[in-house]
Amino acid sequence: MVKYIFVTGGVTSSLGKGIIAASLAKLLQERGLRVTIQKFDPYINVDPGTLNPYEHGECYVTEDGAETDLDLGHYERFLNIPTSQANNITTGRIYQTVINKEREGAYLGKTVQVIPHITDEIQRRVKLLAQNEEFDIIITEIGGTVGDIESLPYLEAIRQLKRSLGKDNSVVIHLTLIPYLKAAKELKTKPSQHSVKELLQAGIQPDVLVCRTEFPLPKELKDKLALFCNVDEQSVIEALDAETIYDVPLLMLKENLDKIVLKKLGIKSKETPELDLWKKFLGKLKNPTREVHIALVGKYNELQDAYKSIYESFVHAGASNECKVVVTPIHSETLSAENTVSKLKGFHGILVAPGFGGRGIEGKLEAIRFARENKVPFFGICLGMQCAVIEFFQNVLSNKDANSTEFDSSSDQPVIDLMEDQKKISNKGGTMRLGSYDCKIMKGSLAHKIYSKMEIKERHRHRYEFNNAFRDALENGGMSITGINPQSNLAEIVEIKNHPFFIGVQFHPELKSTVENPHPIFVAFIKASLSHPI
């Protein structure tokens, strides 16, 4: 029988529920259990695909083409198993399902209400992952903070679920903050007591408290929390600020979070988790022998979360090359023909990021020109690949008018153009080319060397593509298309010769890099950057 773990958050947002959930899942997985994690987001957008990256960080795309919260990226990076549409649900999607059913007449004349209809739909979505009996444990993370109006239906759904699942079949972990008051030199428990009260008001008694803290929690403080919040003393877990998110599974292991949860769920498993691979990765991460400097040229640089998976892919690739990767965000709007050399000359490698819209494109083209002409390792992702094509036409093939119709809809040299099946689409939500597609790689290419195979699958999120009408001009001019989608002929990878490392990809390799399987393009890019002299 599948057992359930619910993770709620109190006091403030951004406490790292996703990392705690992923860390616990890792420990359980390495004890031989089959675990998955799902996230409920209490906002009304049907999915985060229509959100500006400044709002909510990166939009993570799953194999099956769902546009999801970036926490799913952490789940995949930690667990090394793919997630799917069912792993991320928003309030918007819950309501959409219920309203569609109402329009079909499925409620047979009943008044449709938050309880039971919305809460039933939430419960159905929780249980959906249990359907194929693929998992022993499902961890459900409730986004937002307990006490928010938006979270109430989720808490009510958990209360009902806990009741119907019966004793020993579910556990509620409440993640909370223990602030340190500098003036009083004291750690304070009151905000946590209040947030547990909020949970109790919703009919939920947490089983475990995970306490985020800057300083170790003294025993008396743990005892006090246990007493006031009505949990066992050993179920008050300290979650100290960590040097890297990849330390958290080991910190949670030290605190016995996995043992406590398994005991409460009555599950028997291996005595200890097998974390050899994880520890080996951490060892490499923390003992780099060299340092490499990468410029990340993008336009959402103010918010690190906007390029979350790219940053994490560099962490994985750095560990695999036993070097420290220092990534410096460069705002493409600040790059011009005059200052690009001075701004980029100190880097071993340049990555041009994905993105949407015309803002900052000139700077991206300058960065690519600089990398191409000076033989600096270059890696373009999605929009970065499209810009590499435009730059090549403009500066190498002297076609100054070459452009993407995304930035100039009336361009008469549309080397990047809207995909045919996108032309009739007007709705913005969930309508891009999304998810995993095949790519066939050309023998002898850089891509072939990197992947060591000729058939790959990668994930996508775009509306525009390389315009094949310009293919001969591109290839005769010296840029090769070395990866193609066999069904649609769409260009997936471009490269130039006579350059130590120049690759642009239409897909998003950063979405598939995990601790166990660092993405080969990131690994190769870092390796090439390490041998670039500056």
- State the catalytic residue, choosing from 229, 382, 387, 439: 382
Task: Please state the closest distance from residue 300 (CB atom) to ligand GLN, in A.
Answer: 11
Give whichever of 204 and 511 is closer to ligand GLN, judged by the CB atom: 511
Write the CA distances from 312 to 88, 137, 159, 228, 328, integer angstroms. 20, 26, 36, 39, 14
Q: Which residues of 102-135 are buried (b: 16+ CB within 10 A; e: fewer)?
A: eeeeeeeeeeeeeeebbbebbbebbeebbeeeeb
Instruction: Enter the DSSP assignment of 509.
Output: G
Give whichever of 53 and 206 is closer to ligand GLN, judged by the CB atom: 53
Task: Please state the closest distance from residue 86 (CB atom) to ligand GLN, in A.
Answer: 23
- State the catalytic residue, choosing from 348, 460, 462, 508: 508
Written as six digits, the tokens of 427 are 């709705």
Q: Confirm whether 532 is a catalytic residue.
A: no
Written as six digits, the tokens of 318 are 């750095």
Task: Please state the closest distance from residue 461 (CB atom) to ligand GLN, in A.
Answer: 5
Environment class of 289 (CB within 10 Å of its CB; exposed 0-12, middle 13-18, buried 19+): exposed
Environment class of 400 (CB within 10 Å of its CB; exposed 0-12, middle 13-18, buried 19+): exposed
Contact 386, 418 (CB under 8 A): no
Task: Please state the closest distance from residue 394 (CB atom) to ligand GLN, in A.
Answer: 18
Angle at 171 between CA 126 and CA 138, to 5 degrees: 35
CA 13, 16, 17, 18 torsion: positive or negative? positive
Contact 25, 79 (CB under 8 A): yes
Task: Please state the closest distance from residue 414 (CB atom) to ligand GLN, in A.
Answer: 13
CA 277, CA 285: separation in Å to the nearest integer? 12
Written as six digits, the tokens of 432 are 């891009």
Written as six digits, the tokens of 273 are 């988790």
Q: Which helix (H) or strand (E) holds 441?
A: strand 433-441
Give whichever of 308 and 461 is closer to ligand GLN, judged by the CB atom: 461
Task: Please state the closest distance from residue 303 (CB atom) to ligand GLN, in A.
Answer: 16
Give whichever of 33 and 490 is closer to ligand GLN, judged by the CB atom: 490
Task: Please state the closest distance from residue 425 (CB atom) to ligand GLN, in A.
Answer: 12
Q: Confirm whether 508 is a catalytic residue.
A: yes
- State the catalytic residue, choosing from 211, 323, 510, 519: 510
Give whichever of 212 and 512 is closer to ligand GLN, judged by the CB atom: 512
Q: Confirm whether 382 is a catalytic residue.
A: yes
Angle at 439 between CA 511 and CA 466, to 5 degrees: 90
CA 291, CA 327: separation in Å to the nearest integer? 11
Give whichever of 156 and 406 is closer to ligand GLN, judged by the CB atom: 406
Closest among 263, 255, 265, 191 to 228, alpha carbons compared = 191
End-to-end CA distance of the chain: 58
Task: Please state the closest distance from residue 381 (CB atom) to ligand GLN, in A.
Answer: 7
Task: Please state the closest distance from residue 463 (CB atom) to ligand GLN, in A.
Answer: 4
Give whichever of 43 and 407 is closer to ligand GLN, judged by the CB atom: 407
Give whichever of 19 and 306 is closer to ligand GLN, judged by the CB atom: 306
Written as six digits, the tokens of 296 are 């990340």
CA 485, CA 493: separation in Å to the nearest integer? 10
Task: Please state the closest distance from residue 357 (CB atom) to ligand GLN, in A.
Answer: 7
CA 371, CA 295: separation in Å to the nearest integer? 11
SS3 479: strand
Q: Within a 10 A sphere around the Cβ of 164, how many other Cβ atoms?
A: 10
Could you write out the DSSP letters of every residue in 174-217?
EEEE--EETTTTEE--HHHHHHHHHHHHTT---SEEEEEESSPP
Could you write out the DSSP letters of every residue in 353-397?
PP--SSTTHHHHHHHHHHHHHTT--EEEETHHHHHHHHHIIIIIS
Binding interface with ligand GLN (CB under 6 A): 354-356, 382-383, 406, 461-464
Give whichever of 354 and 509 is closer to ligand GLN, judged by the CB atom: 354
Instruction: Enter the DSSP assignment of 143.
Output: -
Give whichever of 97 and 405 is closer to ligand GLN, judged by the CB atom: 405
Q: Within a 10 A sphere around the Cβ of 339, how many other Cβ atoms?
A: 12
Task: Return the active site residues.
Answer: 382, 508, 510
